[in-house]
Amino acid sequence: MKKTLAIVVFNAILLLFAVVTIVPFVWMFISSFATNADIVSISDSLFPKPSTLDNYANIQSTFNFMGFFGNSLFICVVKTAIVLYTSAVGGYIFSKLKYRGRGFLFGMILSSMMIPWAVTIIPQYDMMVNFGLLDSYWALILPAMVNGFGVFMLKQAMDDIPDEIIEAARVDGASDFRIFHRIMLPLSRNALSAIGIFVFLWNWEDYLWPFLMINDQDKQLLAVGLKLFSGQYGTDYGGLFAATSIAIIPVLIVYLLFQKQFISGLAAGSGK
């Protein structure tokens, strides 16, 4: 009886948290079909009254939504692919290769996770300016090519892969390059999926770094482009909510496609 009651209470708490999390997104989606007057009006109803499709119809005419969307999608896919590969390489090096100083180097990787990102903004900005990469996509890609959290997660996942598999492959004449690509990567797909979702989400919603690095509006990313809905004398909330509703679609698609692997990857990493 007590166990059943505890389960009911626990599920009720989870349901409450889910409602608190979902309601703002539902409100934003409904507001994307409402006029500005309805959105900012003070009424007895919690949600604005959906009454128009103009917000979606006018997105492209208001600003270059598809251009910003395509730029963000390109950058996020490229950065996610690079981080997945470098994280897997780092995880393999720290997990399966034996060499002097491995623990110290891995400790340095972990220590990089303790440094607040805001502390590194000015040094990274100076480096990109000195390299002549300002207003270039390289300025967005190069600083994010290696992710300490990704290396940590992939090392944890590869620690679970028996060394006997690698030893058998080496006996058969396989090189480290072949072992990594043919054995370690496929067996680490759950952890890769989890890291991929995190990295894609972080880059998709990143605002500050693209804002600092990219000055050309044609190259700008969607997170920065959304601020164009805010004018000097007012904000087009309907258009902003419509654009934001479309902007979250790629994140939902990525999560739905890799949901099982994402949960399995997190569970594997949390067991260490």
- Residue 211: what pLDDT? 92
Is position 59 within any domain?
A: no
The CB density around residue 249, as the number of other CB atoms within 10 Å, is 10
End-to-end CA distance of the chain: 33
Is position 233 within any domain?
A: no
Q: Which residue has the tokens 């919603």?
A: 205
- Residue 44: what pLDDT? 65
- Residue 258: what pLDDT? 75
Q: Which residue has the tokens 């000195």?
A: 130
Is position 206 within any domain?
A: yes
Residue of 224 and 45 predicted with greater confidence: 224
CA distance 54 to 34: 9
Question: SS3 letters for 94-136?
Answer: HHHCCCCCHHHHHHHHHHHCCCCHHHHHHHHHHHHHHCCCCCC
- How many structural domains compose the chain? 1
Range of weakest confidence among 120-134, 196-210, 251-265:
251-265
pLDDT exceeds cutoff 70 at 16: yes
> What does the pLDDT look like over 162-186, one tens digit per residue?
989 999 998 888 888 899 999 999 9
CA distance 94 to 146: 14
Instruction: Give percent of the chain with pLDDT exceeding 90.
Output: 31
Render the burial of 10-44: b for 16+ CB within 10 Å, e for the rest: eeeeeeeeeeeeeeeeeebbbbbbbbbebbeeeee
Q: What residues form DSSP beta bridges with 235?
A: 230
Single-letter residue type at 113: M
Half-sphere exposure of 108 (CA within 13 A, CB side): 6
Is position 198 within any domain?
A: yes
- Residue 75: what pLDDT? 95
Is position 70 within any domain?
A: yes
Tokens matching residue 173:
């004449």
Tokens matching residue 149:
């959290």
Is position 31 within any domain?
A: no
Q: What mean pLDDT do residues 50-59 have? A: 83
pLDDT exceeds cutoff 60 at 269: no
> What does the pLDDT look like over 154-167, one tens digit per residue?
998 899 889 899 99
Domain residues for the domain of 102 are 64-228
- Mean pLDDT, the chain, rounded, equals 86
CA distance 201 to 191: 16
> What does the pLDDT look like over 210-252, one tens digit per residue?
999 998 888 999 988 888 777 655 677 888 888 888 888 888 8
Is position 74 within any domain?
A: yes
Residue of 54 and 232 predicted with greater confidence: 54
Task: Tell me if 238 sits within 8 A of 32, measured CB to CB.
Answer: yes
The CATH number of the domain where 163 resides is what? 1.10.3720.10
Q: Which of 72-81, 113-122, 229-238 has the highest mean pLDDT?
A: 72-81
**Phi and psi at residue 230, in whole multiples of 5°?**
-95, 110
Is position 176 within any domain?
A: yes
pLDDT exceeds cutoff 80 at 2: no
**Phi and psi at residue 139, in whole multiples of 5°?**
-65, -25
Strand positions, DSSP E, the chain = none
